[in-house]
Amino acid sequence: MNDKIYQKMLLRRRFCKRVFLMVTAFGLFFYASVLLFGDLKTPRIMHLTELETCPACYGISVCPELYSNQIILESSHRWMGIFNAKNIYYGFTKSNRRVVLKKLSHDWELKEFDSKICKEWHLKHNCKPIHLLNASNMNEKIIELVQYNLSFPDMEPRKGLVLCPYAYSIYDLVQPVLNNKKSNYRSDMINLWTMLSINPEPVILQIIPKSHGWPVPAYGGVCGRIEVVAYEGESLSSLLHVAWHRKLKYAKKILDAAMDFTFKHDRFRFYFMDWSLDNIVANEKDEITFIDLEDVIVLDKHISPGKDLPDWYRRYTRDIIGSGFTFSVENMCIHHLSDHNLWAACYLLAGDDSPLLYPIPKEVHTLRPHFHRLLEECLHGDDRFRTVTKLQHVITDMLMDEKIVGFGVIR
């Protein structure tokens, strides 16, 4: 009997000892994390901006607002300074408008970028970011970067913006960004090179701004390595439970956006490479916004084609056979017009990966049996421009039909 009691006490001691060691280890890890990444308060903006990396940063346009507490980080995200792989934070302005603060890259990617800067600019191995202002080949470095993304690299993958068919169009593309600057030209060019190297989203947001009707987030500015944009709503992937007629509204606006990105700009086309229900959000008015603009092909439609572009004036229709979200960067870049955005939009609505509009309610299928055929034609047909135009008209008509927007078709 005494042996049994002794064994139980021994087991209990071992268990308590293991629990103690686990709690101690967790405590040490926790406090080490706090020392490394911040204190117990909400991550302070001054820790996020990394202004010490400038001019190898995105710029300083919104720094006064951040450092005068015009933007406050949400207290509910107090642990995100430690456990935030995506480097995305949320806050509010003094006028109580919600905003998103994005570092636009993972920490390891930023560290890798920093480790290569000195070599990239042919400076001493222990150079400081401020030394970049002494570089004399800024324009060439930007052209070189764009040209690399335009090529078909085997060693390292493309990153961010692809500008085609010729790299020299970059200065016409970014003119709106440079025109908005009233600071040092050299610093601005290094900022531009940095954004194009890490994530071109701040550049794109200034070229196709929300204020001009583009379905992108309202751009607040940049400070160090932080971009500030307006919070525009919840992702469509989290809204799949809503009434079907609301999904139909989203679908109409997704198709409108596909046409706008392809035709609206007077000089460039914008083909987005990462169409996903996670990357499109909707607000309480059912307005949609594309929130991830990192991977984009920008095509200059007003170039004078050389002999290297024999098919320039032909329209490129997606000809890749098979399921899934696939596309050809090369074919989009050697033709003056591609139906990529249109196919991508239809893939979101009716493709084989959690399609937004499927299953179509029986009532709708009975009232509009041709609607399903139109969606299929957009996915697999050979004239998506005609099909999408039809879809836009059909959906507009459906949204005015009380039998479809009524309570009977809510899933």
**∠ at Cα 210 (209, 214), nearest 5°?**
85
Q: Is 355 helix (H, G, I), strand (E, B) or coil?
A: coil
Q: Are residues 302 and 200 in the same domain?
A: no
Among 231, 253, 273, give the residue marking a domain's end.
231
Query: What's the rounded Cα separation, in Å, for the pair 292 and 301?
Result: 23
Question: 150: closest CA among 341, 262, 280, 303?
Answer: 303
Residue type, 211: S
Residue type, 156: E
Question: 50: closest CA among 131, 105, 116, 132?
Answer: 105
Query: What's the rounded Cα separation, in Å, for the pair 313 and 335?
Result: 6
Q: Are residues 143 and 91 in the same domain?
A: yes
Residue type, 127: C
Q: State phi, psi for 27 to the nearest 5 degrees.
A: -65, -45
Residue 326's CATH number: 1.10.510
Share of the chain above pLDDT 70, in %: 82
Helix (H) or strand (E) holding 329: helix 329-333
Q: Are residues 129 and 153 in the same domain?
A: yes
User: How is the chain split among helix, strand and coil, in percent rounded to 5?
Assistant: 50, 10, 40
Query: What's the rounded Cα separation, in Å, for the pair 189 and 141?
Result: 10
Domain span at residue 10 reads: 1-37
Q: State phi, psi for 338 to the nearest 5 degrees.
A: -130, 150
Q: Are residues 215 and 168 in the same domain?
A: yes
Query: What's the confidence (pLDDT) of residue 39?
Result: 42
Total number of domains in the chain:
3
Question: 160: closest CA among 64, 58, 70?
Answer: 58
Question: Over 70: is that where the pLDDT of 246 sits?
Answer: yes
Averaged confidence pLDDT in the chain? 85
Token digits for 378?
A: 């957009």
Q: Which one has a higher pLDDT value, 25 or 310?
A: 310
Helix (H) or strand (E) holding 261: helix 244-263
Half-sphere exposure of 348 (CA within 13 A, CB side): 26
Per-residue pLDDT tens digits for 59-80: 999 999 998 889 988 875 444 4
Among 170, 204, 231, give the residue marking a domain's end.
231
Lowest mean pLDDT among 74-88, 220-234, 265-279: 74-88
Q: Are residues 224 and 245 in the same domain?
A: no
Once rounded to an integer, what is the mean pLDDT over residues 42-67?
87
Q: Are residues 283 and 351 in the same domain?
A: yes
Are 384 and 342 a contacting pair, CB within 8 Å? yes
pTM comes to: 0.85
Q: Are residues 181 and 104 in the same domain?
A: yes
Lowest mean pLDDT among 44-53, 167-176, 280-289: 44-53
Distance from chain centroid for Cα 54: 23
Query: What's the rounded Cα separation, in Å, for the pair 392 and 175?
Result: 33
Residues forming beta bridges with residue 269, ordered by sequence position: 299
Question: Over 60: is that where the pLDDT of 411 sits?
Answer: no
User: Largest alpha-carbon pair distance within the chain?
Assistant: 97
Lowest mean pLDDT among 150-164, 332-346, 360-374: 150-164
| Cis peptide upstream of residue 310 (ω within 30 degrees of 0) | no
Token digits for 75?
A: 């207290």
Q: Are residues 192 and 320 in the same domain?
A: no
**Rounded alpha-carbon distances, angstroms, from residue 378 to 144, 371, 387, 391:** 38, 11, 6, 9
Q: Are residues 129 and 272 in the same domain?
A: no
Query: What's the rounded Cα separation, in Å, for the pair 281 and 288?
Result: 5
Token digits for 397?
A: 């008509």
Q: Are residues 25 and 170 in the same domain?
A: no
Per-residue pLDDT tens digits for 153-200: 555 666 678 999 999 999 999 988 887 666 678 899 999 999 999 999
Please state whether 370 falls in left (phi above 0), alpha (psi between -120 and 50) or beta: alpha
Q: Which residue has the tokens 């039998």?
A: 403
